[in-house]
Amino acid sequence: MSAGTLYRGREGMWSWVAHRVTGVLIFFFLFVHVLDTALVRVSPEDYDKVVATYKTPIVALLEYGLVAAILFHALNGLRIIAVDFWSKGPRYQKQMLWSVVGVWVVLMVGALYPVLGHAVRELFGS
């Protein structure tokens, strides 16, 4: 099957772009995470300062974005696997994409409080 078959139409093009962008963002996060974790061996005091910045509301928003990227990348990856390995996958790829988006939205709504609850409490009080 060609890439043209897998990514036919406007939705397919945007899912292709979103899959690559989320993959790069996740890679960047992992790179930074490895670096900041390695900082503990170089300077535990600086490591503590870096970790303290992670408790800010802005970083909570970035964490929510990370959750969004990971969830979309994972769900869309499962869709791509289904398109590649299920004989009827190419026929139902558009429906599967919209299913991925629907499940992603539901999961993101469910992640609001667990991920952003601390930031909201910090900004507006308990």
For the chain, percent of residues with pLDDT exceeding 90: 66
CB crowding 78-108: b at 16 or more within 10 Å, else e: ebbebbeeeeebeeebeebbeebbeebeeee
How many CB atoms within 10 Å of residue 31? Answer: 10
Q: What pLDDT does 38 receive?
A: 92
**29 with 70: CB under 8 angstroms?**
no
**Residue 63 clears pLDDT 90, i.e. is over it:** yes
For 6, counting Cβ atoms within 10 Å of its Cβ (0-12 exposed, 13-18 middle, 19+ buried), the class is middle
User: Who has greater pLDDT, 126 or 109?
Assistant: 109
Query: What are the start-end ranges of the H helices in the chain?
Result: 3-6, 9-42, 44-53, 57-85, 93-124
Q: What is the pTM of this model?
A: 0.83
d(CA 122, CA 54): 13
